[in-house]
């Protein structure tokens, strides 16, 4: 169970990589071994950030990330998908979401709240699945079978955009733009004089 983050990087044990976020990585690994069903609190911001979205929306995002080359590790906890992202993503993603004009729009059902956890935040991280184990808390286990590096802010943004756009084909209006102003004057500019 090892991960290689790049062509020049040596493989890294998954549990060691996740636990390295803690100032006490050996203790984290010992707790995972003793209590494999209990997530352990790990600080964000140095090894990874975490972006949390509702689980159903997150599963759809994972599908779009997989078709675009792979998703980084994704866990599920309490009805939320936890995307393990590159450090800095929690700070950068809100600006990208505003750029996409999602901020403050009444499309909460289509574009759910993205919660970012970065420096100073702590999240419960499930134990990495054992070889041959089920890993039920992981949608995309950090086990080296995919491009297992943390996902970046741009990749998460575009996976969310693709998820919203794909939802339109299922009979739901999942616009990421502001709703049209009913009192706005609209001019037909399709005909020339």
pTM greater than 0.85 (yes/no): no
Q: Which residues of the chain have pLDDT under 50?
A: 1-11, 102-109, 145-147, 169-179, 188-190, 192-193
Going by DSSP bridges, is the β-strand pair 138-140/122-125 parallel, antiparallel, or unpaired? unpaired
Residue 190: what pLDDT? Answer: 46
Q: Is 193 helix (H, G, I), strand (E, B) or coil?
A: coil
Q: Which of 94, 103, 102 lies closest to 51, judged by CA? A: 94
Residue 148: what pLDDT? Answer: 58
Question: Which residue do the tokens 């089920």 mark?
Answer: 134
Residue 161: what pLDDT? Answer: 82
Residue 113: what pLDDT? Answer: 76
Residue 26: what pLDDT? Answer: 94
Helices (H), the chain: 14-19, 25-34, 55-67, 89-99, 153-168
Query: Rounded CA gap, 87 and 25, in Å?
Result: 18
Residue 15: what pLDDT? Answer: 81
Q: Which of 166, 186, 183, 182 lies closest to 174, judged by CA? A: 166
Residue 50: what pLDDT? Answer: 93
Residue 139: what pLDDT? Answer: 85
Residue 123: what pLDDT? Answer: 93
Residue 59: what pLDDT? Answer: 92
């Amino acid at each position: 169970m090892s991960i290689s983050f790049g062509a020049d990087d040596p493989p890294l044990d998954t549990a060691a990589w996740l636990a390295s976020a803690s100032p006490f990585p050996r203790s984290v690994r010992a707790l995972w071994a003793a209590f494999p069903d209990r997530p352990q609190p790990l600080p964000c911001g140095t090894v990874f950030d975490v972006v949390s979205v509702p689980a159903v929306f997150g599963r759809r995002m994972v599908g779009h990330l997989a078709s675009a080359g792979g998703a980084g590790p994704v866990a599920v906890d309490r009805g939320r998908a936890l995307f393990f992202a590159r450090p800095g993503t929690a700070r950068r993603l809100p600006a990208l979401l505003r750029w996409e004009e999602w901020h403050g729009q009444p499309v909460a059902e289509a574009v759910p709240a993205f919660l970012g956890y970065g420096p100073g935040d702590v999240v419960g991280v499930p134990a990495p699945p054992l070889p041959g184990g089920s890993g039920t808390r992981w949608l995309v286990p950090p086990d080296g079978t995919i491009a297992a590096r943390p996902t970046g802010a741009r990749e998460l943004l575009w996976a969310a955009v693709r998820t919203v756009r794909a939802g339109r084909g299922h009979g739901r209006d999942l616009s990421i733009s502001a709703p049209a102003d009913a009192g706005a004057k609209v001019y037909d500019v399709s005909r020339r004089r």
